[in-house]
Every structure is written in C-alpha cells, then in structure tokens.
Amino acid sequence: MDISVILSQNYRIISHEEWQQASFTHRESEIVFLCDPQDNLIGAVASDNRNRIIPVGLIFVEDLERYIAQNKWEEFSLWFCKNKQNQLLGWADRESIYRFLYLRGKKQNDFYQALLSSFPHQLTVVDHESGICFANQTLQDLDESKLEWIEQKVNKVYGEASCNGASAGALQVYWDAEQIEELPMNLANYSNMFIDLKAVFESSYDVIFVTDGEGKTLRVSSACKKFFGYDAEYFIGKSIYELEKKGTFKPSITRLVLESKEKVQEIQITSTGRRLMVLGTPVKDKNGKIIRVVNVSRDITQESQLKSELEVIRALMEGYKRELKQLKQMAMRDDSFIFKSEKMENAVTLASKVAEVDSTVLILGESGVGKELIASYIHQNSHRRDKPFIKLNCGAIPENLLESELFGYEKGAFTGASKDGKKGTFELANEGTLFLDEIGEIPLPLQVKLLRVLQENELVRLGGTKPIKLNVRIIAATNRNLQEETKKGNFREDLYYRLNVVPVYIPPLRERKEDILPLTLFFIEKYNEKYKKNKVFSQEVLEFLQAYNWEGNVRELQNIVERLVVITDQNLVEKKHLPEMMLNSQNAQSRITVSDVMPLKEAVNILERKLLLLAKKKYGTTTEMARVLGVDQSTISRKITKFMQ
C-alpha cells in the first residue's frame, strides 16, 4: 500500500506574517501551514480554529522506515510529506499514518479488533441482527448472567450505524456508575487546574520557556516579548539551536541542559541587550531520557546596573571613610593626644583592642612620646572606666619608700609611719587600673614582691600578716629595653614576661613626622586660649619644626610651643624667635652643601678629611675628636694616618 493514498492535498502554505495580519481567507476543512521568512515550516492552523498552532513535522516518504524504527512519527500531530526531490506530496495526520503502518502487514479486521481490545472501558460490538460479534477482554471477565442481560437489552441501548440506509450494527461502551460520577468532578478539577496554570504561565514576570527533548520549542510565556523582542508564537516549533545561531539569546541554556543532562544556571544575553539569569531544568521519563526542558529566566539587567552604581557609591564611601579617618585622627584628642601617622594609628588601634579585655599591657617608648596618655586612653575605654585610675612613677620615688607606696603599711611598721597605717597604690586602684610608669627603675629585691602580687592577686602590707585580695588591671611603661636589661641582670626575666603580655610600642616623634604639624597647631590653639593670646606661627617656623629632630618627642614640642606663645612680643612668631639651641642644631645639619655631582666614595672621603682637619684644629687630642665625632679613638687614629699621608 502506497502512503500517498492517505495524503491530503487540501492545504495552503502562507508566511507567518500573513497569518498574523489575518490576510488569508477561511476555507472549510482547510489546513494552513505557516512558514518563517526563511521558508522553514513552523506549524499549522486549522481554518476553523486559527488561534491554535498545531506542531507540524516534516518527513521524507523514503525515510519512513527509519522514522518508524525510531518512533519519531509519533512526535507531531501532523506530518508534512516530501519526496527526495523536495516536492510537496501533501500532509497526513498521525492516526492515518498509524493506520497505514498497521494495515500494511495485517488484515483490516485484525486491525480493528486489536484497536477495540485496547479500549480502556467495557465494550461490545453487535451486528445488524443485534447479535454480539465482539466483546473486549474487560467485558469477557464479567459473569454469564451479566453477559446474558446485555444480550437481551443490547437492541434497546445501542446507537445504530447505517450503510445505504440499512442498519449495519452498533457499538456499546459501558461505564461504571462511580466513574460517571467522578468524570464531571475530575473534568472540573482539570479545567480549573488548566486555568490556574495558564494564568500563572502568562502572568509570570519571568520568562518560562519549554522545549522537548530535541530542543524544539513547545511553549513560551508572554513575557518573552519584553526580553527577546518576539511574541510567543514566533518561538513555537523552532529549534533552540537555530535561535542561538541567530543570536536571539546566547548561550542556549536548553542546549547546556541537554549536553550535561543536569540542571544548569547561567547568565544569558538576549538580542535586545537584556541580561537574564536562567535556570534550566530537565524533565526525564522513567528510563532517564529527557523529554522536556523547562527554563525560567529572571531579568537581572537592572540588577547589573544597580551593581555598577553600587560600585561607584562604594568607591565614594571609601573616599569618605578615608576623609573621616583623617578627620578622626585630627580630632581624636585627650590633652595632647593627637595623631595622623600610620605608625601612631597602629598603636592606637592596638590600644583600643586591648582596652576591651583585662590583659596586662606594657607600653614601650622614649621619654615624652605619650605613654601615660595611652595608658589613660586604655583605662577610659575599658569596663573599669568608672573605677580608679592610679598612676605611680617608679623612678621618681626613693627606693626605701617605693615598697610602702606600692603595698602600703600597717601602723607602727617603721619609724615615722602613720599611726593609722596607709593603703598602697595597689589597694587604692582596687577594681580599677594601676599605671606603673618607668617600671624598669624598680630595684631587684622589690621586683620579687611585685611579681608575687601580680601572680597571686593579693598583697600583705608592710608590718602586716593578713593577705588582702586584689582585682587590679596593671598597665606598665618604660623607656628602657627590658629584654636587654634582663640579659644584663638588671631586671627579672620572669617579671618581664609577666608584664609583657600585650606590648604597645609608641614610636618617637622623629619617626612620625606627619604628627608634628597637627600637634603644633593643637598646642598653639591650646596656649593661645590658656594665656589669652593670639599668636600665629609663620610658614618658615612651621617648616623648621617639621624638620627638627625632636629628641624630647611630644613633650619637647609642647614646651617649645608654649614658650614661643608666652615670650614672643609680636603676634607673628618668626624663625628668629626660635631658641638658639634649635637654630644651632639646624645650622649643624645644614653646614654641608653639595654643588656638583661626584662619585659617592670620593664625596665621603672629602667630607671625612675636612671633618678630621676641623676637629684636630678645634680639639687637638684624638680622644676629644672621637667623642665629638661619635666614633672610637682607634677609628680617628686610623683615618688621620690615611688622610695625612
């Protein structure tokens, strides 16, 4: 049997645009096939229902056997048929092809019996004499009384089929009462579910894109118009490979899902410039084969723009933070507690952290750098801020009185002792903070007692026997190198490690030149207000102070500014008003001048020779020369021999 006998010639082919513009006329029982601008078949519509696009497949008659073997002929409702010469032969529906395939190898009666046997309900076929000529398996399972009742009543209930006006027989379908009652309910449920799903599908802000297991588009939500620039009908029947090739979207998430056989989430760029975050999900049958791919796309174009704007705002915020940090550094004052340098910032940051806990702190630094100020800062920012902050300079108290100052004494403990006794600084600072300045000056015998108090958190007064419990936070400070002192035997190693829990180093002012100008301006303002003055420092003076090597650190700077504010007669403080010792120090630093470029070794030799001649002329002896030049006497002798040859 040739398949051409079932092909219908009642069709037309028009463009998709022509169909959208409704420019074609309806014809009864006509199928209209739709093509895109490249003449690719994209679907069909029936003349009586032009709003429903029917998926259409293209099949070459010569390849029919291959399609049969792969069951691909079941994929579409309609098939458009061609021969190898690309000539259109017509179209056929899936049922006609099925019937054609079945009848090629079997009798027609066998075909109908097989078809009726597969019917899911009880069914009988009677001839024109009301005799039962066929009953499917379901009916044959009934008992004989039921079957006999059917034979008696069948002529009253079947619908007749006529041939040339004569009755040819009838087909009877039986439904259980329960099934009949459930049918309207299920139909209503399915109808409502369909309405709900359609509403969700069409009203979703996201694009929902559904394809089959081969990548052909089955359904697209209406939001695609906004993101892709095409209506949903444009995509129906199209391959995602074709759409990706045309640049409608890149990459194709469906393609990635089909390749990986797993969920895929990627950013997709559309031809309209949109950025979509797409989640592709495969739907598999019981054998693990992908039969559907569902993509849900979220537009993140605005989110990307917001991200860019956020980056700009973040950059501005970083600038504001740096500016605020500088202002904070300039404004962070407690008496002379001002800084701008990174080194001082690190020290203050560490002090802020250690203030939150009760760890023992050892503050290191030269005299005048502000160790006491840091200790006060730690206490004021700790949970003990409302308790006593007691300060004791261990280097300012005679050795024979230091023990009683630290630990106190009972009445009559020694000659001249108060009759009521006295509390030591440890007891006075109980529940608060004790700051032991110049801790390196404590004599060795007293270091043993101090170590015991720190370890046991209790003390015994001089002349007493009763231990007193303590709850004191210890902050110690020194301008000495305690580690070197322990090596020399001047400081106990165990006490050093007991104090050196958290060391905070305060750099000298010469190592943080950035702090000199802010400190100077602060001290000028402070002493102008204190002494009711209105002094202003010239630019030359400020530059001099900035370059000066402050051996006494912040304390020396503060004293110099106070002196200039107090003793200068005019409001403008100029360089001539500076102390002579400072000017001499600057002159000493600026006596050496360089007028031309020369090899460094040659310049060093010239400088050394001139210095030796001047020192020999002024001081005479090599001992004095060595002292002034800051080197050993042997070095002076060796260099004199070298240059005098």
How does pLDDT run across 68-111, given as a tens digit for each residue? 666 666 677 788 888 878 777 888 887 777 666 655 555 555 65
Q: What angle do CA 322, 327, 331 make, to 5 degrees?
A: 150
Residue 192 three-state SS: helix
d(CA 37, CA 576): 94
Residue among 514, 486, 512 nearest 499 (CA) = 486
User: In the prediction, which pLDDT does 644 show?
Assistant: 63
Per-residue pLDDT, averaged over 384-404, amounts to 89
Per-residue pLDDT, averaged over 297-319, amounts to 72
Residue with tokens 């051409």: 4
Instruction: Sort 276 into a burial class: Cβ within 10 Å, 0-12 / 13-18 / 19+.
Output: buried
What are the residues facing 290 on neighbouring strands?
284
Q: How confident is the model at residue 411 (pLDDT cuts 50, 70, 90)?
A: confident
User: In the prediction, which pLDDT does 184 show?
Assistant: 64
User: In the prediction, which pLDDT does 189 show?
Assistant: 65
pLDDT in tens, 455-514: 999 998 888 888 999 999 999 999 999 999 999 899 999 999 999 999 999 999 988 888
C-alpha neighbours within 13 Å on the C-beta side of residue 483: 4
Burial of 532-547, coded b for 16+ CB within 10 Å and e otherwise, reads eeebebeeebbebbee
C-alpha neighbours within 13 Å on the C-beta side of residue 585: 12
Per-residue pLDDT, averaged over 131-138, amounts to 67
Q: Yes or no: say if 425 and 406 are a contact pair by the CB < 8 Å rule.
A: yes
More confident: 116 or 471: 471
Fold (topology level) of 510-590: Helicase, Ruva Protein; domain 3 (1.10.8)
Q: What phi, psi does 396 have (nearest 5°)?
A: -100, 0
Q: How confident is the model at residue 334 (pLDDT cuts 50, 70, 90)?
A: very low
Residue among 132, 137, 133, 134 nearest 121 (CA) = 137
Which stretch of 114-128, 509-523, 552-566, 573-587 has the lowest confidence by average pLDDT? 114-128
Task: State yes or no: pLDDT of 438 exceeds 60.
Answer: yes
- Which H or E element spans position 228? helix 224-228
Beta sheet of 389-393, edge-to-edge order: 389-393, 433-437, 473-478, 361-364, 502-505
The tokens describing 463, both together, are 């002349």
User: In the prediction, which pLDDT does 149 show?
Assistant: 45
Instruction: Sort 253 into a burial class: Cβ within 10 Å, 0-12 / 13-18 / 19+.
Output: buried
User: In the prediction, which pLDDT does 159 show?
Assistant: 44
Per-residue pLDDT, averaged over 427-453, amounts to 92
Q: How confident is the model at residue 155 (pLDDT cuts 50, 70, 90)?
A: very low
Highest mean pLDDT, choosing among 23-32, 250-259, 301-310: 250-259
User: In the prediction, which pLDDT does 556 show?
Assistant: 92
Q: How confident is the model at residue 616 (pLDDT cuts 50, 70, 90)?
A: confident
- Which H or E element spans position 277? strand 275-284
Which stretch of 112-116, 356-360, 455-459, 589-593 has the lowest confidence by average pLDDT? 589-593
- Cα 376 from chain centre: 39
The tokens describing 135, both together, are 């009953």
Q: Yes or no: say if 483 and 369 are a contact pair by the CB < 8 Å rule.
A: no
Burial of 20-44, coded b for 16+ CB within 10 Å and e otherwise, reads eeeebeeeeebbbbbbbeeeeebbb
Q: Yes or no: say if 540 and 371 are a contact pair by the CB < 8 Å rule.
A: no
User: In the prediction, which pLDDT does 266 show?
Assistant: 86
Same fold, 205-299 and 342-507: no
Highest mean pLDDT, choosing among 204-218, 414-428, 488-502: 488-502
Which stretch of 93-107, 221-235, 238-252 has the lowest confidence by average pLDDT? 93-107
The residue ranges of every structural domain in the chain are: 3-109, 122-174, 205-299, 342-507, 510-590, 600-644
Q: How confident is the model at residue 153 (pLDDT cuts 50, 70, 90)?
A: very low
d(CA 232, CA 208): 10
Task: State yes or no: pLDDT of 139 exceeds 90.
Answer: no
Task: State yes or no: pLDDT of 627 exceeds 90.
Answer: no
Q: How confident is the model at residue 426 (pLDDT cuts 50, 70, 90)?
A: very high
User: In the prediction, which pLDDT does 150 show?
Assistant: 46
Average pLDDT, the chain: 79
Query: Strand 468-469 vs strand 290-299: parallel, antiparallel, or unpaired?
Result: unpaired
More confident: 271 or 189: 271
* Assigned CATH class of 205-299: alpha beta
Rounded to whole angstroms, what are the CA distances from 334 to 129, 329, 408, 444?
Answer: 119, 12, 31, 35
Per-residue pLDDT, averaged over 347-363, amounts to 92
Q: Which of these CATH numbers, 3.40.1350, 3.10.580, 1.10.10, 2.60.40, describes 3-109?
A: 3.10.580
pTM assigned to the model: 0.44
d(CA 88, CA 491): 109
User: In the prediction, which pLDDT does 591 show?
Assistant: 52
What are the residues facing 458 on neighbouring strands?
469
Burial of 115-145, coded b for 16+ CB within 10 Å and e otherwise, reads eeeeeeebbbbbeeebeeebbbeebeeeeee
User: In the prediction, which pLDDT does 384 show?
Assistant: 93
Task: State yes or no: pLDDT of 181 exceeds 70.
Answer: no
Task: State yes or no: pLDDT of 523 exceeds 80.
Answer: yes
3-state secondary structure 117-172: HCCCCEEEEEECCCCEEEECHHHHCCCHHHHHHHHHHHHHHCEEEEECCEEEEEEE
3-state secondary structure 91-103: EEEHHHHHHHHHH
Q: How confident is the model at residue 167 (pLDDT cuts 50, 70, 90)?
A: low
Which stretch of 141-150, 272-281, 313-322 has the lowest confidence by average pLDDT? 141-150
User: In the prediction, which pLDDT does 433 show?
Assistant: 94
Task: State yes or no: pLDDT of 305 exceeds 90.
Answer: no
Residues 6+ apart with CB under 8 A from 360: 454, 473, 474, 475, 476, 498, 499, 501, 502
Q: How confident is the model at residue 535 (pLDDT cuts 50, 70, 90)?
A: very high
3-state secondary structure 510-550: HHCHHHHHHHHHHHHHHHHHHHCCCCEECHHHHHHHHHCCC
More confident: 298 or 117: 298
CATH superfamily name and code, 342-507: P-loop containing nucleotide triphosphate hydrolases (3.40.50.300)
More confident: 165 or 447: 447
Task: State yes or no: pLDDT of 125 exceeds 60.
Answer: yes
